[in-house]
Amino acid sequence: MASAQTGDQEAYRRLLQDITPYLRALAARHIRNADDIEDTVQDVLLTVHSVRDTYDPSRPFGPWLVAIANRRIVDGLRRRGRVCSHESSVENGLETFAADEANLQEGAVNARLVREAIEQLPVGQRDAMRMLKLEEMSLHEAAAASGTSVAALKVATHRAMKQLREMFQRRGSKS
């Protein structure tokens, strides 16, 4: 980390690569769902990246990393706990399926609303959503097309999804 702080990109890449399996194991002690483990590891890595300048090279790296990881793991558990407390299980009851033709009008309205909401996003988020979600480009294709890093696209998409969720929640509470 000390080398990474001085601008050694290769050292920083190796550091992130080397700590990822450890972070995955640390998250797996508390989280069972594989997707949630990966989300938590990515969250920890993003946090390490954003606070890397706070690391003091005269002190051990391990405790600094574990403190960050533990906080992000707990934050994730709390967040998932809040979400799960608002969800209810659906019992397998009788299901009916409408003909595809019956839902075309509703689908067109929903698609239009989503496209309009995406147009209200800041440019970076709008471009990320357009390329990754609407045009279904891979992260690498979108990064090459936009000249943006994969990590920046992931962050922009995450922020855009959060903002869209808030837009639709506000819209839903007005109706």
Whether the model pTM is above 0.75: no
Q: Residue holding tokens 């995955």?
A: 24
Task: Give me the pLDDT at residue 33, please.
Answer: 86
Architecture of domain 101-174: Orthogonal Bundle (1.10)
Q: What is the pLDDT of residues 52-107, one digit of tens each?
A: 989 999 999 999 999 999 999 999 888 877 766 666 655 655 555 566 565 556 55
For CATH 1.10.10.10, the residue range(s) in the chain are 101-174
Query: Residues of 74-83 as b/e, b for ≥16 C-beta within 10 angstroms?
Result: eebeeeeeee
Output the pLDDT for position 126.
93
pLDDT of residue 115: 86
- Of 1.10.1740.10, 2.160.20.80, 3.40.50.720, 2.40.50.180, the CATH number of 2-84 is 1.10.1740.10
Residue 26 has pLDDT above 70, yes or no: yes
Return residue ranges of the chain for CATH 1.10.1740.10.
Answer: 2-84
